[in-house]
Structure 1
Amino acid sequence: MKKAFAELIGTFVLVFFGCGSAVFAGDQAGMLPLGIAFAFGLAIVAMAYGIGPVSGCHVNPAVSLGAFIAGRMTVKDLLVYVISQCVGAILGAAVLYAILSGRLGGYDVAVSGLGQNGWGEGYQGGYGVGAAFTFEVVATFIFLVVILGSTHKLAPVGFAGLAIGLTLTVIHIVGIRITGVSVNPARSLGPALFVGGQALSQLWLFIVAPLIGAAVAGILFRFGLLEGKA
């Protein structure tokens, strides 16, 4: 239960700070895209050191899947982690929505959004589904390589959280204009449930693509192709 609660809190924080930076700060003070990228990255750094000792700070179903395939967690823990992460993401989006609903003059979440992911005409740079899918697979693969490598027993101790957070920051700098950056099915699920419409209809890509990228990385570590030896 401690691990489950830690994952719930961690994913809540990721959505609240990451998506919150987009909906509250928007393009103010250079928030798009650099500030938003750092908001997501620094949220991961904070949670890595905050809940890492409890659950490992996956806060992402794709990370948990990659760890499972790499042989670093059981199927039972995988299920508990994924459920907790999805609940945390939904709660994070719910709190954002509740705050935005108190905005004087109103806030139409269907129009102004909730930091949801997407692609196509009218979204960010207007990239197609092929580009969006490719980016999410490749970015998640790279993300998992860093995570599984930096948390390996042979990696320098104490630096994993920083490496992972900075990697997520770079991924956002590159990909915000493509998909808004998911690499995390739970992070995409939370906002999409409240925004509905196109965000919900496109959610499948932000579940399937990150899981594929994570699975490939997990397989490479599982079979020792990226596994260090003492």
Structure 2
Amino acid sequence: MTNIQRGLAELIGTFWLVFGGCGAAVLACNFPAAGIGFAGVALAFGLTVLTMAYTIGHISGCHLNPAVTLGLWAGGRFSGKDIPLYVIAQVLGAVIAAYLLYFIASGQSGWEMGAFAANGFGEHSPGKYSLVAGVTMEVVMTFMFLIVIMGATDKRAPAGFAPIAIGLALTLIHLVSIPVTNTSVNPARSTGQALVVGGWAIEQLWVFWVAPLIGGILGGVVYKALGADATVRPPVEGEAL
């Protein structure tokens, strides 16, 4: 695959992640009768990753997330020279999705933006959790996400089931952490919503870059240490997740 193809795949995949996951929060949750709540939003995020992993995993690896890209690099699964391409594509996909969601949502009579699925801490946390609690949650959840991703895509893991494990892991992550930070674990996803909301969301955005990147890198390093033996395949360019 060419770099253009891989970058475009990451853009489309991250667009789908944000449009599907944040769309469930912004659009569907405006209708209580739909009854999706936190669980429905969590499932929406998991389903976006699952569907895209099967769709573009063989093209770009379906990272959809700068923290995943850096985590796979730290774990020896991804080339450092391709990090800028992936991160730029992921952020662009997220920003396009966020502004498209804003365009659609603002078409409803009497609509008010509110938090617009942006990530936050303190008074902007759904459960009013502190900065320390938010950072801890984001680091731990992104760390475990990378452990699952690297383990599910290990040569020794059952073939063909990685997208299911990864999608379910992201669903679980959201079920636990939505009340704390509205769940980022993905700097690109956070950036798109923050740019639309502005103000406080941009001021707090640094947390949702720093904490997930730390967690992702730690996850990649730790899994590499856990799985380092002769039975593990060498790094492969464009390896799925």
TM range (shorter): over 0.9
Select the residue among 35, 39, 55 that pairs with 2:40: 35
What is the aligned partner in structure 2 of residue 179 from structure 1? 181
Q: 1:16, 1:92 within 8 Å by CA — same for their partners in 2? A: yes
Select the residue among 159, 162, 170 that pairs with 2:161: 159
Q: What do the CA deviations read for 1:2-23 (whole angstroms, capped 9, x no partner)?
A: 1100000000000001000011
Q: Distance in 2 between matches of 1:37 and 1:55?
A: 24
Q: Distance in 2 between matches of 1:31 and 1:187?
A: 20
Quote the offset at 1:35 in angstroms: 0.3
Q: Distance in 2 between matches of 1:7 and 1:202?
A: 25
Q: Distance in 2 between matches of 1:58 and 1:170?
A: 18
Q: Counterparts of 1:95-106 in structure 2 under 5 Å?
A: 95-105=100-110
What is the aligned partner in structure 2 of residue 7 from structure 1? 10
**What TM-score do you get using the length of structure 1 for normalisation?**
0.94
Q: 1:12, 1:92 within 8 Å by CA — same for their partners in 2? A: yes
Q: Distance in 2 between matches of 1:39 and 1:205?
A: 24
What is the aligned partner in structure 2 of residue 195 from structure 1? 197
Q: How big is the alpha-carbon RMSD for the aligned residues of Structure 1 and Structure 2?
A: 1.3
The verdict on how the C-alpha distance between 1:208 and 1:159 changes in structure 2, with shifts beyond 3 A counting, is: same
Q: Structure 2: which 5+ residue stretches go unaligned? A: 232-241
Q: Counterparts of 1:1-230 in structure 2 under 5 Å?
A: 1-26=4-29, 27-105=32-110, 107-109=111-113, 112-121=114-123, 123-222=125-224, 224-227=225-228, 229-230=230-231
Quote the offset at 1:229 in angstroms: 4.5
Q: Distance in 2 between matches of 1:161 and 1:28?
A: 31
Q: 1:91, 1:190 within 8 Å by CA — same for their partners in 2? A: yes
The verdict on how the C-alpha distance between 1:31 and 1:84 changes in structure 2, with shifts beyond 3 A counting, is: same
The verdict on how the C-alpha distance between 1:147 and 1:122 changes in structure 2, with shifts beyond 3 A counting, is: closer
Q: 1:45, 1:162 within 8 Å by CA — same for their partners in 2? A: yes
The verdict on how the C-alpha distance between 1:104 and 1:7 changes in structure 2, with shifts beyond 3 A counting, is: same
Q: Which amino acid aligns with 1:132?
A: G
Q: Distance in 1 between matches of 2:92 and 2:124?
A: 29
Quote the offset at 1:227 in angstroms: 3.7
Q: Which amino acid aligns with 1:24?
A: L
Quote the offset at 1:122 in angstroms: 5.0
Q: Taking every aligned residue pair, what percent have the same amino acid on both sides? A: 52
Q: Structure 1: which 5+ residue stretches go unaligned? A: none
**What TM-score do you get using the length of structure 2 for normalisation?**
0.90
Q: Distance in 2 between matches of 1:216 and 1:31?
A: 33
Q: Distance in 1 between matches of 2:184 and 2:144?
A: 13
Q: Distance in 2 between matches of 1:228 and 1:39?
A: 36
